[in-house]
Structure formats: structure tokens, C-alpha cells
Structure 1
């Protein structure tokens, strides 16, 4: 077992900074390098980091570095697939932001490359480490077969118009429902076989961003359960939290409901009324904490011990296949079967 995991951050945007902050609190991790499409962003992040990591010009430079054990891919959604294949072939462990990929064929290639190389890889579906969601997993296992589920994750319009510069290359479903599909699959302990999806365009197109305002997905599971996944990102910025997140699952023996909107804190000032977020990312007494950090800590432990992560690359590939089928359904206005894994 290695003493320290030497990590490179690929992408210096919001999620790159989040990963760097979480990793900075781990005594057995060294953030050794940072690279980004914009070198100035990489340099700014490096200057903010206590370990003073090197700034490299490209992913190729990262993968050629013998003093880097793992890469953390925090690039836009549509860039993940090829990067994972290249990282696996270079023998690097991989932590990739959700979604795993936005293309099924790319997801299959990534899974094959990862398994052939024998590296540790995990998609950062951090909601599995939210305490209430993890408790719900234990509770639903006592409630018998799942019957019907519903999950929504709706953002304010700030996210596609100001936070993301690449919102026109993704959708609210890829960006938001990927979390909920992974979570629901885990709670139901089953896979989606068929979907029917609809979308609405208007508000964002009028602002020059060609992506749907909202997507709704109806999913059928192999053992008969059904679920609805709702995503939108046109809430007004006056909404008291950036994300409105809610999950419920009814089973034959009971129901579990999870409302993450308030997160136990309410803040009122003379200008605003808000629910500050703290379950995913927070700094507690100067130390990074929360589900986001806990998920990253799990990945680090798996890299250092060779253990298989809680979230398999195969399950993350399935989330991609569900979403790809949903987007095909939006275009065809017909139900679409979820693509099975590629033959090996």
C-alpha cells in the first residue's frame, strides 16, 4: 500500500476547485499537478493551493508524468469519455465528475479500457454519501419491492446562464438527473430497461443558449418499478437556494421521502432569504467536510488499497445509457429501450 496518492486535477473550473479543496484536507494525498484548457485558470488554482502543484500544459503532459498516480477529471460533460480511455491506458487511477460520459459508445470504451488496465475508477456520484440518502438505502432494503419513485433536481437560471459556459453542450438531464438516476438505481437495486422522455425549450433559447429549459423522464425498471426524473434550470435567481432537490420512493412495505432543500439552516437578512447548502460541501472548523469530501475520501482509500469503489464504472455506464435513451426519446417522441453493455 502506497503512503500517499499523487493526484493531478484536470480542469480548473468550479468542480476542479471543489476537488482541490477536498483533497487538500487529506494527509495521504498530494495534489501534484493541475492542467486546464485555460492556463491562467490552472495557475490561479495552483497559486491558491497549499501544496504548490505544478501547472502542466495538457492532459498528455499529465499522463506522461511518472510522479502522478491518479487524475481527477472535472472537465465539461462531453469531454469525459476520451479522457478516461487515455488515462486508463496510461495506468492512472480515475475520478471523474458526473456524468460518466454523454455517449454510450464512449462509456463502453471507457469501461473496457479501465477494466483492461486494472486501474481504480469512480464517477463522483457524491449523493450516495449524503447521510440521509445512505440511511434511506438501509431503510428501503427493509420495505420490500420498489413500486414507484420520483426525483427532481431543479436549478436556478444562474447555473446555465452564468455558472456554466458550456450549458449549450449539455442538458439539465445530463447535468442534474444523472445524480438522481444513480441514486434511484441504488435505492431500487435494479436497472432501467426502457424510458420515455419529453423536453421543453424556450427561456434559454431566447437567451442564446440552445438547451432545453426542462426535461422529464419516465423510467421502467426490470422488476416492474417505475420512476420519474425531473430536471429544470430556469427557476428565478430569487429562489432561496440554487437547487431544489427532492426524492421519494414508495415500496410494497412503506415509503421514504428525502427533501434536501433547506438542509437544516435558514438565513434571513435585510436583503435576502436563503437556505445555505451544507450537506455536499462545507468547511467545518477549517477542514473540508460533507458528502463531496467523503466520496473523494472513499476513492482515495480505494486507490491506496486496491479496493473496488462503491460506485462501479458499469453502474455509471448504465446511467449514461438511461440518459442517452431519454434524449433519443425526446427526439423520436417514442419509448426507447436502454442499451445493454457492449459484448466483451
Structure 2
């Protein structure tokens, strides 16, 4: 392997810029290629019109996939077949079939691959994992991740190709299954349409998913993205886990800073992404650095592609349940 890990970034939107900022600051990484347009923090990278050209260029050892949710699978399969390591934004894929072919290609090629469920690196969540033994066998959990309406109407231009559950609950399903150390066997879900459809965006306003785990615990996953833009954070995030011997609560609405101006009162977020004295920091950066370390050492990432495939399976079953009005077994 060259002295530096050569990384290509596929996708030049918000997440592509975030990956570029973190990777460009890593001392053992060089961003050598991007697709489909130039990126800040990757000014010296070669721009390719298509990800297939990027993979065929021979200039990358790993690829960072930051395309819209429904476009992940084809890039992963092509990267694996090219022998290129893979970091992919959540969710892993948006169909089980896509997840299965991605996992198969990755395992057959023997490349390192990880879905960026970065919440496992939030200090409080990592600490919760370590404290799970104190609360005993999981009984019931609740995870809420709700966005302001800015996200589906202004931040992303493909909200009609995904849902709040794919976009938001994927994080929480990965997190809770990790905390429970268990897997989901059945789901029942409901979706509410109205406000966004009235604005010409054909996606649910909100979804709730009730999940039953193999050892009997249950959890509810709530997602919505119609909060008013006056809400003090773009994301309202809360998790609780009740065990037989205790309870853990994780509230990330406030992250140790409050900001009041003549125009607004906000809680600026900093656990996931922040820049400290010009250097990227936070759980997002730590998760990406973990992937880089795994590529360079050959270690298996904390997040396996099989566990990420399970998150996709849970969400696919939830959307089927919401469509039919009946529970769905995995």
C-alpha cells in the first residue's frame, strides 16, 4: 500500500463535502479523485464524470460513497469488484436485494467495507454500550429522530426517493440493535402522509416502527421531518433503553452550548461534527478515521456489513408493514 491511503469520493453533495473535510485532514490519507464535480478540501483531486471512470483510473485504494440513499448499491458492487475498499453513508442500501448483492460482492472480494453509522462514536452512546450490563436484559426502548422541514424541502433534493425512516431511523436501528446485542424478528409500522405531499414531495411526514427482538425485547423508532424551522435544532434526537435492572436515557437536543441572537435561540450541535482550532473533530470524524485504520491494518470494522444489511432488512419490512397495515416478520 502507498504511504498514504488514496481515497476517491463518489458524490459531491453535503455529505461528500463532509467526508472530504475529514479525510483531507487525516495525515495518512490523500484524496486523489472525486465524482462528479469538484469538492472543497479536495482541490487537487482528479474529477471524473462517472464513478466507473473513477474506479477504473487505478488512482484509488478506497472509495467514500456519499450519493443519495437509493444509489449506494451499484457503486459498492463495482468498487468491490475493482478491489477497492468501501466507506458508505447510511443507510447501507434501500432494498434487501441490493444489500445482499453488496454484501456478497464485498465478502467475495475481501475488501474492507463499513457503513458510516457514526452514532456508535458519540461518547454518550459508546458509554451507554459499556453500561448495558448494569441495566440488565433489555425490555423496552424508544428512539426518536425528528428533523425540521428544512431537510426534505431545502437540504436534500431527493426526499421523494427516500423516507424519514430510511434517512433518520437507520441510525437508531443500528444503535439500539447494538445496545441490545440482539436482532429484530418482527416489525409493525405506520406512515402518515399529508403536509409534504401537499408541497409536491411524495414522502411520508412521519413514520413509527415497533420492533420485536429475538430475546423478547421491543423498541419503537420514530422519525419525522416536518418540525418547524423555528425549532432550536435541525434534529431532535432522544434514546431510552429500559432493562430489567435499570434505565439509560440519552438526550442530544442540547449539546453544551446555547446561542441567542436577535433573530433566534438555538442549541448548536457539536457531538457529530465540529471543527476545533481548525481541525475536524467529533463522532463523524472518529468513525471515518476508524475506517481508515481498518483499511491500513486489515482489521474488521466495528460495524459489519452484515449488521448494516440487517438495518436495511428492518426498514424494508417496516415500509412493507406501513403499506399493508400488517406486521411483517424478518
CA contact (8 A) 1:147 1:225 kept: yes
- Quick one: distance in 2 between partners of 1:275 and 1:244? 11
1:299 aligns with 2:291: yes
- Quick one: distance in 2 between partners of 1:308 and 1:256? 28
CA RMSD of aligned residues (A): 0.9
Alignment of 1:54-133 (within 5 A): 54-133=46-125
CA contact (8 A) 1:69 1:92 kept: yes
CA contact (8 A) 2:189 2:209 kept: yes
Q: Secondary structure at the match of 1:15?
A: helix
| Correspondence for 1:19 | 19
- Quick one: distance in 1 between partners of 2:168 and 2:217? 22
Match 1:143 to one of 127, 135, 138? 135
| Correspondence for 1:28 | 28
1:206 aligns with 2:198: yes
1:162 aligns with 2:185: no
- Quick one: distance in 2 between partners of 1:235 and 1:60? 39
Deviation string 1:48-104 (CA, Å, 9 cap, x unpaired) is 326511111111111112220001000000011111111101100000000000000
TM-superposed CA distance for 1:270, in Å, is 1.1
Q: How many residues align?
A: 330
- Quick one: distance in 1 between partners of 2:120 and 2:261? 33
Going from structure 1 to structure 2, the CA distance change for 1:62 and 1:50 (only over 3 Å counts) comes to: closer
- Quick one: distance in 2 between partners of 1:109 and 1:4? 30
CA contact (8 A) 2:20 2:42 kept: no
Q: Secondary structure at the match of 2:134?
A: coil
Match 1:250 to one of 239, 242, 247? 242
- Quick one: distance in 1 between partners of 2:325 and 2:246? 34
Alignment of 1:247-286 (within 5 A): 247-286=239-278
Long gaps (5+) in structure 1: 37-41, 339-344
| Correspondence for 1:217 | 209
Q: Secondary structure at the match of 2:131?
A: helix
- Quick one: distance in 2 between partners of 1:2 and 1:310? 24
- Quick one: distance in 2 between partners of 1:2 and 1:116? 24
- Quick one: distance in 1 between partners of 2:122 and 2:269? 12
CA contact (8 A) 2:147 2:236 kept: yes
Deviation string 1:212-242 (CA, Å, 9 cap, x unpaired) is 0000000000000000000000000000000
Greater alpha carbon shift after TM alignment, 306-315 vs 262-271 = 262-271
- Quick one: distance in 2 between partners of 1:304 and 1:321? 30
- Quick one: distance in 2 between partners of 1:223 and 1:248? 18
TM-superposed CA distance for 1:10, in Å, is 0.3
| Correspondence for 2:322 | 330
CA contact (8 A) 1:80 1:101 kept: yes
Long gaps (5+) in structure 2: none
CA contact (8 A) 1:30 1:51 kept: no
TM-superposed CA distance for 1:187, in Å, is 0.2
- Quick one: distance in 2 between partners of 1:268 and 1:167? 31
Q: Secondary structure at the match of 1:141?
A: helix
